[in-house]
RNA sequence: GGCGCCAUGGUGCAACGGCUAGCACAUCACCCUUUCAAGGUGGAAAUGCGGGUUCGAUUCCCGCUGGCGCUACCA
């Protein structure tokens, strides 16, 4: 494949909020496609909406993209820095006769037949003659047929016009969508959309098309919410003298109630999932399977497998519901299977944040101890913060005793005499390993005529503060003799 | 309202006319087990409704219903 035919795709977020899960998945699919086809992944920031635009949010979006491992090859390119490009393009469309100056105020545009919400009620300022009792076209606006003189008059009256695309009144517009198949719409269904606002700021339609042409985008992979707008853009491409690129619209991600995912469904930004302690690999794997399946029954996919198997036709047309439970399962799987040296850095960050990190764990024997301990703990973790949560006692001497655990395993009153004896036994134990610790405890249990389990469970709470933890004697080895002995004695004052 | 898209268990995906509709999450039970997880085994659970086409429909067509999207000088 020559470089001229290698695909160029782009992800084009607008900085009106954080990177949300839907956008992240769109970015992921673009990235996967680019990697799969050895193409180029471009990042473009669509920040033309001066009203809602929040420049300070850009960094957060880029950070989330990097966190997910979606590195872009070109950009970020900011639309706000190339405004001349858009107005020039609008002029060209105008000169070619495919657009016209519209002097209607946004609110009174004759074609605005149905604003998103309510319905105005006024004597419509439509063309002269009586309404033909026919189509009541959305694109009908008197401005389309204004003479030069009339335009001059409007300008003289102080009105600043917008440039509106003149959608053909007849015919159909068609295009192929890689996931939705061939599409065809009657032009009469399309309204004369604005290209350039009266403020000279381009609309999304203009900006996106002009940039996609300028950046030589070959495949537009974006949310299905743009499917209905695509015919307009196809028309615009042609008016600009270019054939449109390939399109691929991916289904939307919905909340549990099947409505569009929003804040009221809980966390929607990828930053919040990073914050909560999800691993980027797990989050990405989960996202990839929302609206796409590699075929077969595989779910856990490495980056390489994901890239190798990704295909646009394999993308579903059905909207997907974001299932947090499954996300957590993915995270648990990755927590379990990630190579230890890849897991250690994020664990270190969690421990640092909790204020219990110790530098001796950075290298040498300390590092080895950390690795073994993390490996011991991880089968019972679901999120990264668990390491500083229930497993805190492995890393810090400052931990509390879980009330439920005490209630369940510290019922036996004779523990008050057994803990000291056990502590003495461990202090005197010649070797410090799993079997020795096991034997010491069982010997005491036999001598005191109590089931070993009672002592084991009580001891776990004494040295770790929790009931849910790794096997006791492995935990003891990880903690070391001093801590075990000390905690056994300290627990005495916390018994009923 | 208009136009469009979508429709398999609670959820995510398989089955792209042809075995008893499969896998995973969640759920229930059991096994394992010193706790709790993990893991293993098994159970319950779906083709929205109605018409067609066909020897045969989850699959193709139509209608309905439902959900979603677009219908902005938002993206």
A327: confidence class by pLDDT, cuts 50, 70, 90: very high
The complex's ipTM works out to 0.95
CA count, 13 A, side-chain hemisphere, A194: 19
pTM of the model: 0.91
User: What is the distance between the alpha carbons of residues A166 and A145, in angstroms, rounded to a whole number?
Assistant: 10
A126: confidence class by pLDDT, cuts 50, 70, 90: very low
What's the rounded mean pLDDT across residues A1-27? 89
Whether residue A115 has pLDDT greater than 60 = no
Whether residue A173 has pLDDT greater than 80 = yes
A107: confidence class by pLDDT, cuts 50, 70, 90: low
Whether residue A455 has pLDDT greater than 90 = yes
Beta carbon of A92 within 7 Å of strand B? Answer: no
Whether residue A270 has pLDDT greater than 50 = yes
A118: confidence class by pLDDT, cuts 50, 70, 90: very low
Whether residue A125 has pLDDT greater than 80 = no
Run of H or E residues at A253? strand A253-254
pLDDT in tens, A276-308: 999 999 999 999 999 999 877 889 999 999 999
Name the closest residue (CA) to the C1' of nucleotide B16: A314
Q: How far is CA A141 from CA A36, A58, A137, A146, A440, in A?
A: 46, 38, 9, 10, 92
How far, in Å, is the CA of A188 from the C1' of nucleotide B75? 24
Cis preceding linkage at A76, omega within 30: yes
Contacts of A95 (CB under 8 A, 6+ apart): none
DSSP label at A212?
H
Beta carbon of A329 within 7 Å of strand B? Answer: yes
Whether residue A4 has pLDDT greater than 70 = no
> According to the model, what pLDDT value does residue A317 have?
95
Name the closest residue (CA) to the C1' of nucleotide B71: A114
Show the 3-state SS of A118-165.
CCCCCCCCCCCCCCCCCCCCCCCCHHHHCCHHHHHHHHHCCCCCEEEE
Q: What are phi and psi of A15, to 5 degrees?
A: -75, 60
Token reading at A375: 């490996």
Q: For residues A87 and A122, which has the higher predicted lDDT (pLDDT)?
A: A87
> According to the model, what pLDDT value does residue A3 have?
54
Bridge pairing between strands A162-165 and A99-102: antiparallel
User: What is the distance between the alpha carbons of residues A40 and A218, in angstroms, rounded to a whole number?
Assistant: 10
Beta carbon of A165 within 7 Å of strand B? Answer: no
Residue ranges of E strands in A93-204: 99-102, 162-165, 172-177, 181-186, 194-196
Nucleotide nearest to A45 (CA to C1'): B75
Bridge partners, residue A246, by sequence: A219
User: What is the distance between the alpha carbons of residues A356 and A396, in angstroms, rounded to a whole number?
Assistant: 6
Beta carbon of A206 within 7 Å of strand B? Answer: no
- Which percentage of chain A shows pLDDT scores above 70? 92
Token reading at A334: 């990755």
Whether residue A140 has pLDDT greater than 80 = no
Whether residue A361 has pLDDT greater than 70 = yes
Beta carbon of A198 within 7 Å of strand B? Answer: yes
Whether residue A150 has pLDDT greater than 80 = yes
**Could you tell me if A47 and A14 are in contact, meaning their C-beta atoms sit under 8 angstroms apart?**
yes
Whether residue A113 has pLDDT greater than 70 = no
User: What is the distance between the alpha carbons of residues A442 and A450, in angstroms, rounded to a whole number?
Assistant: 9
A106: confidence class by pLDDT, cuts 50, 70, 90: confident
A266: confidence class by pLDDT, cuts 50, 70, 90: confident
Q: List the nucleotides on chain B closer than 7 A to a protein CB.
A: 1-8, 10-15, 22-26, 34-39, 67-75
Count of residues making up chain A: 496
> According to the model, what pLDDT value does residue A398 have?
93
User: What is the distance between the alpha carbons of residues A148 and A146, in angstroms, rounded to a whole number?
Assistant: 7
> According to the model, what pLDDT value does residue A46 have?
95
Run of H or E residues at A88? helix A83-95
A435: confidence class by pLDDT, cuts 50, 70, 90: very high
Whether residue A247 has pLDDT greater than 70 = yes
> At how many degrees (to 10) do helices A280-288 and A324-337 cross?
130
How far, in Å, is the CA of A33 from the C1' of nucleotide B24? 25
Q: Tell me which of A134, A138, A159, A263 is the catalytic residue.
A: A263
A451 is a catalytic site residue? no
Name the closest residue (CA) to the C1' of nucleotide B39: A379
> According to the model, what pLDDT value does residue A54 have?
87
Tell me the pLDDT of chain A averaged across its residues. Answer: 90
Beta carbon of A450 within 7 Å of strand B? Answer: no
Whether residue A198 has pLDDT greater than 60 = yes
């Amino acid at each position: 494949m020559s470089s001229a035919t290698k695909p160029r795709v782009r992800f084009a977020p607008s900085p009106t909020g954080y990177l949300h899960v839907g956008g992240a998945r769109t970015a992921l699919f673009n990235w996967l496609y680019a990697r799969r086809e050895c193409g180029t992944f471009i990042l473009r920031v669509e920040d033309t909406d001066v009203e809602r635009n929040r420049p300070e949010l850009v960094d957060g979006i880029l950070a989330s993209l990097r966190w997910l491992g979606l590195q872009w090859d070109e950009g970020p390119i900011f639309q706000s820095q190339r405004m001349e490009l858009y107005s020039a393009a609008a002029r060209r469309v105008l000169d070619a006769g495919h657009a016209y100056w519209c002097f209607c105020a946004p609110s009174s545009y004759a074609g605005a037949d149905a604003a998103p919400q309510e319905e105005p009620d006024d004597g419509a300022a439509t063309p002269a003659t009586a309404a033909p009792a026919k189509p009541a076209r959305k694109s009908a606006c008197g401005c389309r047929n204004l003479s030069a003189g009339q335009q001059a008059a409007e300008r003289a009256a102080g009105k600043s016009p917008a440039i509106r695309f003149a959608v053909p009144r007849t015919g159909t517009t068609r295009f192929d969508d890689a996931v939705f198949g061939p599409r065809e719409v009657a032009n009469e269904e399309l309204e004369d959309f604005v290209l350039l606002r009266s403020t000279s700021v381009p609309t999304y339609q203009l900006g996106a098309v002009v940039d996609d042409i300028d950046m030589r985008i070959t495949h537009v992979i974006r949310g299905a919410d743009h499917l209905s707008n695509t015919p307009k853009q196809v028309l615009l491409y042609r008016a600009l003298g270019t054939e449109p690129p390939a399109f691929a619209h991916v289904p939307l991600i919905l909340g549990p109630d099947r409505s569009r995912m929003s804040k009221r469904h809980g966390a929607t930004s990828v930053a919040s999932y990073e914050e909560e302690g999800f691993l980027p690999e797990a989050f990405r794997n989960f996202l990839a399977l929302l609206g796409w399946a590699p075929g077969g029954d595989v779910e856990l996919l490495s980056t390489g497998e994901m890239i190798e198997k990704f295909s646009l036709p394999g993308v579903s047309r059905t909207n997907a519901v974001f299932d947090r439970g499954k996300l957590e399962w993915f995270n648990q799987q990755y927590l379990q299977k990630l190579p230890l040296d890849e897991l250690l850095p994020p664990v270190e960050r969690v421990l640092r944040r909790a204020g219990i990190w110790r530098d001796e764990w950075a290298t040498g024997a300390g590092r080895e101890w950390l690795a073994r301990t993390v490996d011991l703990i991880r089968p019972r973790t679901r999120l990264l913060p668990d390491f500083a949560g229930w497993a805190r006692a492995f890393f810090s001497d400052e931990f509390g005793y879980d009330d439920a655990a005490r209630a369940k395993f510290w019922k036996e009153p004779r523990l008050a005499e057994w803990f000291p004896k056990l502590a003495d036994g461990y202090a005197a134990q010649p070797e410090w390993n799993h079997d020795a610790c096991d034997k010491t405890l069982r010997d005491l249990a036999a001598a005191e005529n109590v089931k070993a389990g009672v002592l084991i469970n009580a001891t776990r709470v004494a040295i770790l503060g929790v009931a849910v933890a790794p096997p006791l004697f492995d935990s003891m080895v990880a903690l070391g003799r001093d801590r075990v002995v000390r905690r056994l004695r300290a627990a005495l004052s916390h018994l009923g």
